[in-house]
Amino acid sequence: MSNKNKRQTKIIRSSLRISTIEGSWWAVMYGSVESYLGAFFEILKYSSFQISVLTTLPFFIGSLFQNYVNNFYHFFKSRKILVVSLKILQSFLIPTIYLIGVKINNFYLFLFAICIYFTIAISQLSPWTSWMGYLVPSRLRGRYFGSRSQIIRIFMLVSSLFAGVVLNSFNNTNPLLGFGIIFSIGIIANIGSAYYIYSQYEPDYEAIEEKNKKLDLTDNEFKPLKKFITYDSLSEFSFSISGPLMMVYWLRELNFNYIELALLINVSQLIGLFSLRYWGKKNDYLGANITIRWTSLTISVFPLLWILVYFVPVSMMLPFSILIASFASLMFSGRALAMDNRLYEHMVGKSMIQLTSKRIFYRGLFIFVGGFFGGVLTKLTFPTSHIMISSMSKLHIVFLFSSFIRFIIWIKYLRNKKFKI
C-alpha cells in the first residue's frame, strides 16, 4: 500500500470514529426531544386524530422537499456544509415548537412548526447517507453500522431514561416545565452533533455522481430499485397506521406514567442495542434479504400482541408490554440494518443523493397516508354487536388493520424465499 493510500485509510478511520461520536450527540437530542414529542402532543390535549396528523404529515411535507435537496447540494458544493447548516437551523426550531405549543397552543400553527422541523431533519438524510456510502467500505458496512448503532442506542437509552425521570418529577407540579428542560438538553446535543459533523472528513466525490442519468423508476434498468422502494414504502404505510398512536395507547389506555413509559422504551431499546453487532455480522454473512424476510414476518404479529396487553391483569400490563416492546425492538433493529444495507447495494453505480431522496420521498408519502388512515379509523364508529368488537377500543381496531396489512405485504413480496427486494 502506497503512502498516499495509507494516509487516506487513516483519515477515513479517524472520520468514522468522529461519525460515531457525532451520532452519540444526535442520540441525546433524539432521546430528549423526538422520543417524547408524542407525550408533548398528549400533554397539550390533542385528539388521537390530531396526533396522527402531527406525527405523519411532517414526514410527507419533508419528503416532498427531497426533490430539491439535490439542488441545495449543488448550491453548497458540500454535503458537510449542507448538513451542518440544516442541523443548526433545526436546533433553533426546537424552542420555537415548545413556545408555540405552550404559549399560543394553536393547532395549525403548531402543525406548521412541526412540519418545518421535520422537513429540515429529513433533508439531512440524503446528503448524510450518500456521504457515508462513499466513506464506509462495502465489506465493512454491516459491522461498522452495527457497532455505530449500538453506541448510539446506549446514548439514546440513557438520555431517554433521564428525560422520563425529569418529566415524571414535574408531572404533578408543572409538566410543561419538564418538557422545557429536556428540550433544552436536546438543543445543546444537536449543536454538539453539528460540531462533530463539521469535524468529519468529506471525500472528493467521484464524477459518477454527476454523470449518472436521472433516476427514472419506469426504466427497466431500475426495476430492482423500484421493487425495493415500493416494498419499503408499503411497509412504512403499514407501520404508520398504528405506530404514531402507540404513545397515546400507552398513556391513555394502559395508563402508564412517565417512569413506566421510560422503562418500557429503554428496556426494549437495550435489547435492540445488544442485538446490533449480531445483526451486523448476520447481514454480512447471510445477506440482507434473509434478515428482511423473517424479521418482517415477525413484525406483522406485534399489533395483535398489543391488543392482548389490554386484557391482561393490571399488574401484568407493564411486564408484558416490556416483553413485547423488547422483542419488537430486536426485530426492527435487524430489519432496519438489513434495509439500509440493501439500499447501499442498490446505490452501486447510481447517484446516491438522487436515490436516497427518492426513497425518503416515497417513505414520507406512505408514512403520512398510513398515519392519516389510522387517524381516520379512530374517528369511525364500528358495529358493536359482536362480543369481541364490543370489548375493543378504537385503537385496537387500528392495530388489527395494521397487522392485517403487514401480513398482506409480506405475502406479496417476501413469501417466496427466492424473491429479492
Label residue 243 by pLDDT band (50, 70, 90): very high
Q: Does 419 map to a domain?
A: no
- Give me the helix-helix angle, 352-379 and 223-242, nearest 10°: 30
Q: Does 143 map to a domain?
A: yes
Whole-angstrom distance, CA of residue 39 vs CA of residue 94: 15
Lowest-confidence segment of 6-10, 58-62, 316-320, 405-409 by average pLDDT: 6-10
Q: Which domain holds residue 357?
A: 13-413
Q: CA gyration radius for the chain?
A: 21
Number of structural domains in the chain: 1
Q: Does 189 map to a domain?
A: yes
What percentage of the chain has pLDDT greater than the value 90? Answer: 47
Q: Does 31 map to a domain?
A: yes
Q: Does 96 map to a domain?
A: yes
The predicted structure's pLDDT at residue 286: 74
Residue 376: name the closest of 49, 43, 10, 25 by CA: 49
Q: Does 5 map to a domain?
A: no
- For the stretch 10-31, what's the b/e string if a residue is b when 16 or more beta carbons lie within 10 angstroms of its beta carbon? eebeebbebbbbbbbbbbbbbb
Range among 77-81, 280-284, 355-359 with highest mean pLDDT value: 77-81
Position 208 pLDDT exceeds 50: no
We report the CATH number of the domain holding residue 85 as 1.20.1250.20
The predicted structure's pLDDT at residue 72: 67
Average pLDDT over residues 29-51: 93
Q: Does 4 map to a domain?
A: no
The pTM score is: 0.79
- C-alpha angle 419-345-67 in degrees, rounded to nearest 5: 105
Position 387 pLDDT exceeds 50: no
The sign of the dihedral angle between the CA atoms of 249, 254, 255, 260 is negative
Cell of 54: 402531527
CB 289 within 8 A of CB 356: no
pLDDT tens-place string over residues 389-413: 556 788 999 999 999 999 999 999 8
Label residue 303 by pLDDT band (50, 70, 90): very high
CB 354 within 8 A of CB 46: no
Label residue 186 by pLDDT band (50, 70, 90): very high
Average pLDDT over residues 79-85: 88
The predicted structure's pLDDT at residue 132: 80
The predicted structure's pLDDT at residue 210: 45
Q: Which residue has the higher pLDDT, 22 or 382?
A: 22
Backbone angles phi, psi at 177, to 5 degrees: -65, -40
Q: Does 45 map to a domain?
A: yes
Identify the residue whose cell numbers are 442498490. Answer: 346
The predicted structure's pLDDT at residue 308: 94
Give the residue ranges of DSSP H helices in 287-351.
288-299, 302-309, 314-347
Position 229 pLDDT exceeds 70: yes
Please, what's the largest Cα pairwise distance for the chain?
Answer: 78
Separation in Å, CA 54 to CA 162, 178, 200, 371:
25, 21, 34, 9
Position 206 pLDDT exceeds 60: no
Position 283 pLDDT exceeds 50: yes
Average pLDDT over residues 109-135: 87
Label residue 350 by pLDDT band (50, 70, 90): low
CB 31 within 8 A of CB 158: yes
| CB atoms closer than 10 angstroms to residue 225 | 20
Label residue 129 by pLDDT band (50, 70, 90): confident
For residue 24, which amino acid is it?
Answer: S
